[in-house]
Amino acid sequence: MIVFLVEALCTLVHLLALTVHADVQVPINSNWNSGFQGDACFDITSELHSWNITMTFDLPVLSLETWTADVVEIREGGKVFVLQNKEWNKEEHVGDKLCLGFQGHTNGDMVPKLTASISGLPNGGSNDPTTTYTSIDVTVPFSDVSTTTLSPVVRNRLVIDGNHFTYNGKRIFLSGGNLPWISYAHDFGDGQFQSIKNQLEEQLKKLHEAGGNSLRLWIHVQGETSPAFDSNGMVTGLDTKGTFLDDFKELLRLALQYNIFLFPTLWNAGVDQDPHHRLDGLLRDSSKLQSYIDNALTPLVKSVNAHPALGGWDIMHEPEGMLNPDVNNDEPCFNTTFLLNSGVGWAVKKYDYEQILRFLNWQAAAIKAVDTNNIVSVGVWNPKSNTDQFGMFDFYSDSCLVKAGGKPLGVMDFFQYHSNSWHGVFDDVSPFKHSSSDYKVNKPILIGGFWETDGGGMTITQMFDYVYKHGYAGAWSWDLLGEGDSQRAAIAHIKDYTDNGQIPIVLQ
């Protein structure tokens, strides 16, 4: 009898831990046309080794997407969705917060009501539907059962606080590098991502292991394979074969797995390789630019908005590469003679600042029209074009951007300076000759492009060290594919620094 009671008690304990339930109403945070999105978090009070979440809507949902789980079952004509943990997040421990962000679409402009519940399997259990468990007929008070509680929250996001970044309430320093491409202009869309996915994941893994937390990488470049254009130069979609969104979501999933914030750089002006005049059309023709915003950029931003691995958006790499420095204009924002003999226009002297600033302003505004919490920047070739100190002029100020494009939302949230020495010497405006405070701006300054080859005699480790210790908000070296070993060593060198913000993060 004693043996039987002990066995029954053990089975009871197993059952009490077997299923963890919480049934609550989850609010929808925002909706548009037929789309909606929401967030909820589970406070974990039992050790879980796998889990399912059941989402029950009061009306049929045509599609449901989330970044932290897989949809494994759809029932009742799209009213019930069962989601299962990813391999990388199946382990949840007491004190953890399991956050689930979701986005879906209904038929028409209807906002569904949602009830969510979670169930988990403990002690190495499997959520394979073929797994069976011994059960006994036991009644226990509900209050004795280990439970989680679910409450709606705003998902943790990268936030700007004055001249630095914060995440989950803590000041952080963005440390990482540029991975501009695996296959130049052929990484995303039209089925191309699968051929570079393994290499890209390896780079994310190595960056994470080095202690980095962020990565800047290029998307459209100059329109070689994305977005899709018609014969008149109007943008018709993100790509021709329809794989771009899936590619991008898979990229973000990988970044989330390795706790890396991604900063996608949409366009590149550092070279003149636009034989089809695709990027050229967007810069010169506002109707073509609007077609890109309507048919590519806005759908992309909506589809991944508030993804936990999306740090922010970088509109363009070094616009000065195609800038004509000999445009005299009574409006200082468009008078490029400030930059005569500075090196701008090294690729081609093709555009004036009014065109470039409109291009940036409209896209930044479109990104923030989806969500004003989105963070936007542009990577400038040198602080000379992005500061009003040292006798320079700040072309990327809020006032200049709005003057060119007319959209108040279309301003930069942080400044991103690139810096390279010339004949072994940094110029007098270089961030490697100043502290962040010397530029007298009220936004974070991130040093987004530098390397030892043009490092003014500094080692790459000294450069990372300098950026961290002189008040800048982040450091991204150029580039991890070509210079990865030494740059990751430098990233590892500063990973435990805390005075200017912590570096290792856990994305939620």
SS3 186: coil
* pLDDT of amino acid 483: 96
Rounded Cα gap, residues 21 and 85, in angstroms: 16
* pLDDT of amino acid 367: 98
* pLDDT of amino acid 107: 80
Helices and strands (DSSP H and E) totals, the chain: 10, 23
Question: Across the 508 residues of the chain, what is the mean pLDDT of every consecutive 10-residue run?
Answer: 46 44 65 67 80 90 81 89 81 74 78 85 48 28 31 67 96 98 94 96 98 98 97 97 95 96 98 92 98 98 94 99 97 96 96 99 98 98 97 98 99 99 97 98 97 98 99 98 97 99 94
* pLDDT of amino acid 384: 97
* pLDDT of amino acid 507: 92
Angle in degrees, 0-180, between the axes of helices 460-469 and 480-494, rounded to the nearest 10? 50
DSSP string covering 312-331: -EEEEE-GGGGB-S----SS
491 and 203 Cβ atoms separated by less than 8 Å: no
Q: Which residues contact 357 (CB under 8 A, 6 or more apart)?
A: 333, 334, 395, 396, 400, 401, 403, 404, 405
Enumerate the H helices of 320-445 as residue ranges. 353-370, 398-405
Tokens of 36: 């909606």
